[in-house]
Amino acid sequence: MENVLCPRCQADNHSDNTFCRICDFHLKGKPPRRKGFIILVVIFVILILASAGTLIYIEMEYPKYGLVKRLKVVKEVLFQNDWIEQHNSYYNLSEKIRLKKIELDKLKNEIETKKDERKNAIKRLEERLKELKKKLDKL
Ligand SMILES: [Zn+2]
């Protein structure tokens, strides 16, 4: 008679035993499949398929913004020595644009102020004209 070690609790069991006498582990059956592992694999596969599907979809629908285009951009950045310089020039450009916008806003405000001034001047002139007409009628 041989003894069999239970793989789960390490208890000695008779080799005839189907189940461990201590923990009821099934000694003769196949080791149970690890469900958690299988679920993880399934989730992983689904994620990979979903990612691939998304990338393919983007590539088909929006080739401009797809993987190929992005890889080209990455390649350009990696193989460009002066990309920092270029970044700085872009930054300077955006700074210039910002300042121009501020200038533009100032000019707009000035124009609005001048419009108001002109409107007021026209009103004053109209009032003066009415007064003059009244005087003319009296004559
Ligand atoms: Zn056991």
Per-residue pLDDT tens digits for 16-64 = 888 999 999 988 876 666 788 899 999 999 999 998 988 787 777 777 7
Cα–ligand 1 centroid distance for 20 (angstroms): 5
pTM over 0.95? The answer is no
Name residue, tokens 């121009």: 100
Q: Report which residue type is found at 19.
A: F
Write the CB contacts of 77 (distance below 8 Å, at least 6 apart in sequence): 83
Cα–ligand 1 centroid distance for 112 (angstroms): 90
Cα–ligand 1 centroid distance for 16 (angstroms): 14
With residue 11 as reference, give the H or E element that holds it. Answer: none
Cα–ligand 1 centroid distance for 41 (angstroms): 29
Q: Quick check: 4 and 14 in contact, CB under 8 A?
A: yes
* Residues listed for the chain: 139
Cα–ligand 1 centroid distance for 17 (angstroms): 11
Q: Quick check: 58 and 50 in contact, CB under 8 A?
A: no
Tokens of 65: 């913004």
Cα–ligand 1 centroid distance for 7 (angstroms): 7
Could you tell me the CA-to-CA distances from 106 to 95, 102, 110 in Å, in that order? 17, 6, 6
Collapse the DSSP code of 104 into the 3-class scheme (helix H, G, I; strand E, B; otherwise coil) and give the result. Answer: helix
pLDDT tens digits, 70-119: 777 777 767 765 667 777 788 888 889 999 999 999 999 999 999 999 99
Q: Report which residue type is found at 24.
A: D
Could you tell me the CA-to-CA distances from 136 to 53, 125, 129, 130 in Å, in that order? 87, 16, 10, 10
Cα 20 from Cα 28, distance rounded (Å): 10
